[in-house]
Structure 1
Amino acid sequence: MEPLLPPSAVAHLLGVAPPTLRSWDRRYGIGATGRSPGGHRRYTPEDLRRLTDMCRMVAEGMTPADAAARAASGPASEPAAAPGVPAQRGPASGTGRSASAALHGVTRAAIRMDAATVEDVLEDRLRTRGVVDTWDEVARPVLFGMGSAWAATQRFVEVEHMLSWSISSSLRRVHRSPRIRDRRHIILACTPAELHTLPLEALAAALSENGVAWRMIGAATPIAAIEAAVRRTAPKAVVVWSHRPESADPEALSAVRRASAGLREATLLMTAGLGWQGGVGGMSDACSATLPDALSILTKDIAAAT
């Protein structure tokens, strides 16, 4: 016999409050069809499947009433694809969602560990609203919320990790690494002790969106690697990212200065992230703590040099 789940367990799995489940049952007729020996409501696997489909469709922009009707009619179907071509995922009706609706959808999908829906919503917004909007209005707030939830309750660390991976995957799918056709590119690097790359990945995606080429050398970049990359590729600019003061290593900036000293063209050195605000960022040509500021500085610099 297949297990029957109580409302509390279903609410936890879906990331919704138990009163929401009762409301959906009352309003849309999509609820528990099983009963315990004592007569209490219990959800069958098919009930859970319908509710999971409903949550996914609501996260993708459908109204609860329409999502309930669609979920009740049977398993959601994926669009057909030509032989050898993967089916295209993504919301059909999500382009008109407000930022708060997208944020709510991503949060609920993340809590129930539904990475596919998280990425669908994020990629839809990246394509329709752009990188800066998606980062500032959806991705960054939900990451902050999950981090705050963990700090307060010691829960949801698995959600935060999955969410970080999904945001990174979405950014790279929508804005892949560019082909470098000339030397007018930007190097993106973390300091040796910095492991958090998501803001730097958002900057990379925003640069691609604006037609600016870049090379990412990623988390915990050794000083020697930063220096070698600058010497080998003669970038127009180098961005050195630090999220925390403990990881803001001024030697990384010195390495860029040493490597760029012999280059024909000047190299802009920019520090990015809150870690540099203690004063060590003064060795740079520019400093930014936000994605819009960093993008503005870098796109103006590239445009002025071309």
Structure 2
Amino acid sequence: MGPKVCALVQGGEQVTGVGWSVGAVARRLGIAPSTLRTWERRYNIEPSRHTEGGHRRYDETDVARLELMNRLILGGVPPEEAARSALAAGPEELAEPPAPSSVVPSGPAWGAGGNRLAVPDPTPATRKLAGAAMKMDPVAMQDLVWESISTVGVARTWQELLTPVLVGIGERQAASGRYVEVEHLLSSCVQSALSAVLAMADPPLTTRPVLLACAADEQHSLPVYALGAGLAEERVGVRVLGARMPYRALGDAIGRLGPAAVFVWSSMAATGDPLPLADLPATRPAHRLIVGGPGWREAGLPAGVRRVHAYQDALQALRSAVGAG
């Protein structure tokens, strides 16, 4: 009599035989079957069972080793080192789930083959955008962003679709030192869509605009475009000055426009020096000066400057400044 038949269930799919097939394991890990074959060929992580017909199958220990290897790679460990660790792991290590404080990103991985991207709290929409980003498909990315904006608006698109995918790419880039090109292409597609929202917005209902800019030398401008597009969608007048705005030029713009509010973004400590904010000109009537982003040193902010910590808080503060919220 042949080996005992076992039934394994993962994600509602039942796999019958003496173990897991290549395809079933690939689906369980969220990777391509060709990736498993590459790992077997290069790193000797291979199935340990065979069917009566000679087909190789992974048992539960084999699958646990592959899951450990996959977690290590997603956490930034080179594949060769991850394979060595998985092969050397004992039963306790294989049974131990990843710690919450681990560098392994939360949520399943999405993407083609070895180009996987972990997205926090994934949804069908973020999975699709992550896949399009990793394939570097600008048409698909633009279509997905526009579909979301037209359905749920800019604010929800930024918070529920774009931010999770951008965070996932940023974490993957920090862990691996790769995917800068993916981040740049996705950022370009997102900025194009947000700029189009600004360009096509209905005439504003407010009399004094909101002025949005990045701090001097700050290159990460997507948050100010997201704020600008969100406000423009609500028919608030906005002017987005973009990245690396010298404080002298920002002061000139304040003097010309007499805005109701000025928002300045800084993503890193190197661009978050609060001292130049004190030299920005006053206006009559007075404008509100609001800063956002993790780069600001809150202790040194001039009196009267408000710091916001979240996109929705920034939207509400700017709405309030123009009397729209």
Scaled to the shorter chain, the TM-score interval is 0.5 to 0.7
**Aligned pairs, number:** 212
Shift of the alpha carbon at 1:149?
1.0
Aligned pair partner of 1:135 in 128, 144, 158: 158
Shift of the alpha carbon at 1:264?
2.5
Letter in 2 for 1:215: R
Shift of the alpha carbon at 1:281?
3.2
Shift of the alpha carbon at 1:180?
6.8
Counterpart in the other structure of 1:117? 140
Letter in 1 for 2:162: A
> Are the counterparts in 2 of residues 240 and 271 from structure 1 also a CA contact under 8 Å?
yes
Change (3 A) 1:217 1:177: farther
Structure with bigger helix share is: 1
Shift of the alpha carbon at 1:285?
3.3
Shift of the alpha carbon at 1:203?
0.3
Shift of the alpha carbon at 1:272?
1.2
TM-score (norm 2): 0.60
TM-score (norm 1): 0.63
Letter in 2 for 1:157: V
Matched, 1:171 2:194: yes
Secondary structure at 2:296 match in 1 = helix
Letter in 2 for 1:219: A
RMSD: 2.6
Aligned positions of 1:57-136 closer than 5 A: 100-136=123-159
Change (3 A) 1:177 1:224: farther
Shift of the alpha carbon at 1:277?
4.5
Counterpart in the other structure of 2:118? none
Change (3 A) 1:137 1:170: same
* Inter-partner Cα distance in structure 1 for 2:239 and 2:32: 47
Counterpart in the other structure of 1:274? 294
* Inter-partner Cα distance in structure 2 for 1:148 and 1:248: 22
Aligned positions of 1:140-289 closer than 5 A: 140-176=163-199, 183-256=207-280, 259-260=281-282, 263-289=283-309
Counterpart in the other structure of 1:18? 32
Shift of the alpha carbon at 1:292?
0.4
Shift of the alpha carbon at 1:129?
0.8
Compare 178-187 and 220-229 and name the one that shifted more: 178-187
Among the aligned pairs, what percent are the same residue?
34
Structure with bigger strand share is: 2
Higher-Rg structure is 2
Secondary structure at 2:132 match in 1 = helix
Shift of the alpha carbon at 1:246?
1.7
Q: Deviations over 1:35-73 (max 9, x none)?
A: xxxxxxxxxxxxxxxxxxxxxxxxxxxxxxxxxxxxxxx
Letter in 2 for 1:191: A
* Inter-partner Cα distance in structure 2 for 1:145 and 1:264: 44
Change (3 A) 1:285 1:250: closer
Structure 1 unaligned regions, length at least 5:
1-10, 23-97
Q: Deviations over 1:10-44 (max 9, x none)?
A: x9xxxx8323999xxxxxxxxxxxxxxxxxxxxxx
Q: Deviations over 1:105-153 (max 9, x none)?
A: 0000111110110110011101111112111111111111111111112
Change (3 A) 1:216 1:158: same
